[in-house]
Structure 1
Amino acid sequence: MSRRTACDPPVRVRTQAGVAEITIGTGQRRNALRSAHWRLLAEQMDAVSHLSALRAVLVRGAGDTFCSGSDVTEWIGAEPDTVEDSFHWMEQAFRAVERCPIPVVAQIQGTAAGAGCQLALACDLRVMADSARIGMPIARLGILPSPAFAARLVQLAGPALARQLLYTGQLLTADEAVTAGLANLCAPDADLNDDVEALLSDIASQPPTALRAAKRAVAEAAGEPPGQHLGPAVSYADLQRGIARFFG
């Protein structure tokens, strides 16, 4: 695999054998994404959704991590409206994944935290490397979880664990995530690529109409996440204090 650099685009799409691979980040800053990157991810996911020949989508991070969330350096001293706009585009990216008519698989190595966790939960299936971690350590930054953020946790792991993760910021190991229902499979780090490829091959071997019908049926049975929260996404003063502590 070629080494990624900061000059690479933050969202890249490659299609092969009925599968679209979407790689996020550049391998820098643990693939933390800025507002424009979330918007680009939403646009690319919507574009992929219209490719009738596809049977599955893989979402993975560049380098050795999935996504550590949003790039909080973008919010240092930013106007509140700028921060709120970032959360708008985050949610648009997650919704684009959820409304994609074909199965979306997250390949998780390193960390899937905060918005990176939400991105993984928006996918249909999650495969984690043994060393990977997943969770929502956002309260310390003054981020106010939206009902949609909470719903993704509750639907997969139940309200008790959702409360625990949001209240404490705990990151779960891969084994813990599988037990909790936040991940479908865990794999030894060295086998992660092969195991994900095998899963995608199994999915892509199914009739496309059946795959699309299955995704619709499960989504309707489970219920869609609630609408985007109309209140503020962050406590602005707490956010700035949290960022200062984080980088202090």
Structure 2
Amino acid sequence: MDLGTFETLLVEQDGDALVVTVNRPSAMNALAGQVIADLETLTLAVESQVGSDGRWPVKGIIVTGAGDKAFVAGADIVEMQSMSPDEGEAYSRRMQGVTERLEALPLPVIAAVNGFALGGGCELAMACDWIYASDNARFGQPEVSLGLVPGFGGSVRMARRVGAAMARELIFTGRMVKADEALRIGLVNRVYADPAALLEGAKATVAELATKSPVAVAACKALMSEVAPLPVPEGLDREAQAFRRAFETEDKVEGVRAFVAKEKPAFPGR
């Protein structure tokens, strides 16, 4: 899967997984403008190559950070120091756009967090479908310590992950939580002993996803995003409509045929 080259990202296809590594270890992988530009380019490239006409060169994306200290330590404070209010808003909106595109991709996106995921790093992780962490992972939204508010989606997504009261505590205090607490409050799905096990765990999940219908997985992702803000009756109506559309796919025909024949399905991805 050729997505081009990037100044601040390492992008590698590993079997059915696309592994995306934010690669600024000297700056703890902080989200400088160039990182955001590279993430924009990457998400647009993935959008153009995945899902249409049965093209599924990968079945999931793993987002991680280079080095042993940080997933992404946060926004680039050095760059922010000289920003005007208008430039600050543009910086916020640009990274928000990246997070929205990650959420809209027709693939599961897993954040594999090793080390610090603070501020913008925590917000990038929360824009992924779920988060796996190594035992040394640390999460937080410390913007109040800088006289700021979350700018890349933290005020929206944190409450949806951990509930309103816990989100308020974490954002108002800027408190950092360790991996075990992040697991307990529902911010992360699994905790692994070390970074190597973390990455292998994420890859194993993508391998499991690769046995499922990519069309159905993409439809589930879109459906769950669509129904999240809706009242239950409206959400159920959208679900029934999506269920009907699934009956129109070749993957549904193959999946049901294989189940009845007691065979492994060979999903065409259409």
Q: Which TM-score tier does this pair reach, normalised by the shorter chain?
A: 0.7 to 0.9
Tell whether the 8 Å contact from 1:35 to 1:89 is kept in structure 2 after alignment: no
Amino acid at match of 1:188: A
Tell whether the 8 Å contact from 2:17 to 2:203 is kept in structure 1 after alignment: no
Shift of 1:60: 0.6
| Aligned counterpart, 1:228 | none
Runs (4+) off by over 6 Å? none
| Aligned counterpart, 1:125 | 130
| CA displacement 1:104-148 (0-9 Å, x = unmatched) | 000000011101001000100110001111110111112233694
Tell whether the 8 Å contact from 1:34 to 1:86 is kept in structure 2 after alignment: no
Relative contact order, higher structure (CA 8 A, sep 6+):
1
1:47 and 1:179 mapped to 2: Cα distance? Answer: 36
2:156 and 2:83 mapped to 1: Cα distance? Answer: 28
Tell whether the 8 Å contact from 1:25 to 1:33 is kept in structure 2 after alignment: no
- Of stretches 148-157 and 162-171 in structure 1, the one that deviates more from structure 2 is 148-157
| Aligned counterpart, 2:163 | 158
| CA displacement 1:207-242 (0-9 Å, x = unmatched) | 211110111122123239xxxxxxxxxxxxxxxxxx
2:210 and 2:77 mapped to 1: Cα distance? Answer: 37
| Aligned counterpart, 1:181 | 186
| CA displacement 1:158-206 (0-9 Å, x = unmatched) | 0011101111111111111111111011010152222222112112221
- 1:127 alignment partner, SS class: strand
| Aligned counterpart, 1:18 | 16
Matched, 1:200 2:206: yes
1:50 and 1:204 mapped to 2: Cα distance? Answer: 20
**Please, which of 97, 121, 138 is the counterpart of residue 116 of structure 1?**
121
- 1:31 alignment partner, SS class: coil
- 2:49 alignment partner, SS class: coil
| CA displacement 1:4-45 (0-9 Å, x = unmatched) | xxxx82123222323211111321111112123212212211
| Aligned counterpart, 1:34 | 32
Amino acid at match of 2:31: L
2:142 and 2:152 mapped to 1: Cα distance? Answer: 16
Amino acid at match of 2:66: A
- 2:12 alignment partner, SS class: strand
- 1:66 alignment partner, SS class: strand
Larger Rg computed on CA atoms: 2
| Aligned counterpart, 1:72 | 77
Gaps of 5+ in 1: 1-7, 225-248
Matched, 1:58 2:62: yes
Gaps of 5+ in 2: 1-5, 51-55, 231-270
Tell whether the 8 Å contact from 2:7 to 2:38 is kept in structure 1 after alignment: no
| Aligned counterpart, 2:103 | 98
Compared CA separation, residues 23 and 115, structure 1 to 2 (3 A): same
Q: Percent identity?
A: 32
1:37 and 1:86 mapped to 2: Cα distance? Answer: 12
- Of stretches 112-121 and 46-55 in structure 1, the one that deviates more from structure 2 is 46-55
- 2:71 alignment partner, SS class: coil
TM norm structure 1: 0.82
Amino acid at match of 2:76: D
- Of stretches 105-114 and 213-222 in structure 1, the one that deviates more from structure 2 is 213-222
Tell whether the 8 Å contact from 1:13 to 1:23 is kept in structure 2 after alignment: yes
TM norm structure 2: 0.75
- 2:28 alignment partner, SS class: helix
